[in-house]
Amino acid sequence: MKGPEKKGKLARITGNALVSRIIFGAAGAILFIVFWEYLLEPIARGFQGNPDLNIPTFSESLGALFSSFVDTGGTWNEYLMGDHLMLSLGRVLGGFAIAVAIAAPIGLLMGYIREFEHFLFPINELARPIPPLAWIPVAVLLMSGELKVMFICFLGAYFPILINTIHGVRSIDPVLYDAAKTLGASRWTIFFKVVVPAASGSMMTGIRIGLGIAWMTIVAAEMIGSSNGVGWYIAVTTFSMTRYDLALGAMMLIAFVGYAIFLMMEVGERRFLKWLGMF
Amino acid sequence: MAGNVLISIEKLNVEFKKDEATVQALKDFSLKVFEGEFVCVLGPSGCGKTTLLRALSGLQQHSGGKLSILPPLNPTAIPVTQVFQDFALFPWRTVRKNIEFPLEIRGILPDQRVAISSQLISLVHLDGFEDAHPKELSGGMKQRVAIARALATEANVLLMDEPFGSLDAQTRNLMQCELLEIWKKTGKTIVFVTHSVDEAVFLADRIVVMTSRPGTVKESIDVDIPRPRDRTSQEFIRIRGKVLAELQEEFEKTVSRERFCEN
């Protein structure tokens, strides 16, 4: 018999998953920041053969982000970064809410009624590969103002919610249908009392992914269809002002807010499943 | 059995399509089940036992013959209900809410639902687990919930498809005793499919042995041993031997057919 398995020094320190996550996560982040702060500019200068190339460092970008909350930075716009953020969040949540309201019921019905699935399959499958941004002509033609941007966010959220909801209905254990039928449930009772709750876990996954994608599409949507918001801010600071420090600062904000949304949705999803009694 | 005929099956034919081929699952199957009777159905694997139950519960269409079940007196009740081997509980509902599922469908008001489900929870000895979710329960407890839920339909006929098949031997014996107790208290008519000869002889008033596919009734054996039954008694062993002998013939047929298919 062998003795207990020997562990390396590293494994002993990081045996705890959470401790390991914090230690290695911090190491990775610090390495990235050091690279950006001290190495990115010289390397880029070497590559481009341009010793005057100026790349904003991490600290400059972060500083620019802070300043953008108190100073418009000459963006010909009375809004500060806090206002841009709120406007962007409003559009994302608006488009996302409409996507949930449409994609969830359609997905449930497509999963449950075969003929309805056949009816909508071709149009959905053809529309799905079109990236949200390629819909801009449609958005410009059909909508105006805020709706234009919301429409793009809506498209970003719609398909993940739809696909996951259909998948949720499809993966319901058929014995649950048999049980409900032998307990006297009609077709529509089964839909509301079995299909909806049984598919809601998968639907929540789609909702979480959909919100993430809606947030990702906001920048491009605002670049084209808006005159304010974080996406618009990046476009203006990049193309018109060449203030890359401000643009990179806004990128960092998108990252932080996106991650916060992701965390909130994950907690929400877990709470929801727990409330359902399925987790 | 003296009572009314509750289930009447005459020359029932059931076929279904499997990989383009039509499979005859039941052929000229005839059986009468009396009110309050406990009938166990035995037969070789794939003989159509499950198909028989699915035809009775309306989950499977039949292609010929007659099948009639006396409707219940209560207008909100359904004639038959079924208990499945895999429990088929709704994982998002608590024990109480699972049991109240048929009550909701029957349009029974919330106050009354709670009263009825409490009674059923006591009947299956699950007091204290009202608010537990299925994932927190053992196999035996899950099946008790499923039985209580089925009883909430107030169907006269309880179809049970190998309900204790996935339980360990000890739990299985305990559940058999409890099922007999529930049967005695509620007066339900039970059609119980099983693979276990021992289980059938322990539970049934009558054992129906089916032939291999296409399934039909090979033999109907009355079990007139008074309850509670002793599995080691002479009488028990004698009837078990008789059932085994009937089954053996059909097993051999199935085995020889399978060998034939392999070659």
pLDDT tens figures, A157-179: 999 999 999 999 999 999 999 99
Å between B251 CA and nearest CA of chain A:
28
User: How much is the average pLDDT of A68-90?
Assistant: 88
Assigned domain for B149 exists: yes
CA distance A231 to B5: 76
Q: Is A10 in contact with A23 (CB distance < 8 Å)?
A: no
**CATH number of the domain where residue B225 is located:** 3.40.50.300
- Cα angle B101, B103, B109 (rounded to 5 degrees) comes to 125
| Domain count for chain A | 2
Residues on B contacting A at a C-beta cutoff of 8 Å = 57-59, 78, 80-82, 84, 86, 88-94, 101-102, 104-106, 133-135, 146, 149-150, 152-153, 159
**Residue B59 placed within a domain:** yes
Q: What's the confidence (pLDDT) of residue A2? A: 47
The residues pairing with B40 across neighbouring beta strands, listed in sequence order, are: B192, B207
Q: Kindly tell me the sign of the dihedral angle through the C-alpha atoms of A36, A42, A45, A49.
A: negative
* Domain CATH for A201: 1.10.3720.10
Number of structural domains chain B divides into = 2
pLDDT above 90 covers a percentage of chain A that reads 67
ipTM for the predicted complex comes to: 0.91
Are B160 and B150 contacting, i.e. CB atoms less than 8 angstroms apart?
no
For residue A17, the enclosing domain spans 9-55
CB contact under 8 A, A183 and B159: no
Query: Across the 263 residues of chain B, what is the mean pLDDT of every consecutive 10-residue run?
Result: 81 86 88 94 87 92 90 90 95 96 95 96 95 93 96 95 93 95 94 94 94 87 91 93 90 70 48
- A96 and A178 in a single domain? The answer is yes
Q: Rg of chain B over CA atoms, in angstroms?
A: 19
In Å, how far is A186's CA from the nearest CA of chain B?
A: 9
Asked if residue A82 and residue A35 are part of one domain, the reply reads: no
Per-residue confidence band for A74, with pLDDT thresholds at 50, 70 and 90: confident
Please, what is the angle between helix A244-276 and helix A81-112, to 10°? Answer: 40
pLDDT 10s digits, A210-266: 999 999 998 888 887 788 999 999 999 999 888 999 999 999 999 999 999 999 999
Residue at A156 is within a domain: yes
Count of CB pairs separated by less than 8 Å, A with B: 70
B81 inside domain:
no
How many Å apart are CA B19 and CA B67, to the nearest integer? 27
Residue B85 lies in a domain: no
C-beta atoms of A183 and B133 within 8 A:
no
Tell me the whole-structure pTM to 2 decimals.
0.86
Does residue B125 form part of some domain?
A: yes
**Does A109 reside within a domain?**
yes
My answer on whether A244 and A199 are in the same domain is yes
Residue type, B194: T
Of B90, B149, B152, the CB nearest to A176: B90
Does residue B182 form part of some domain? yes
Report if residue B139 sits inside a domain.
yes
Pick B106's closest partner by Cβ from A182, A184, A200.
A184
Domain span including residue B216: 5-70+157-262
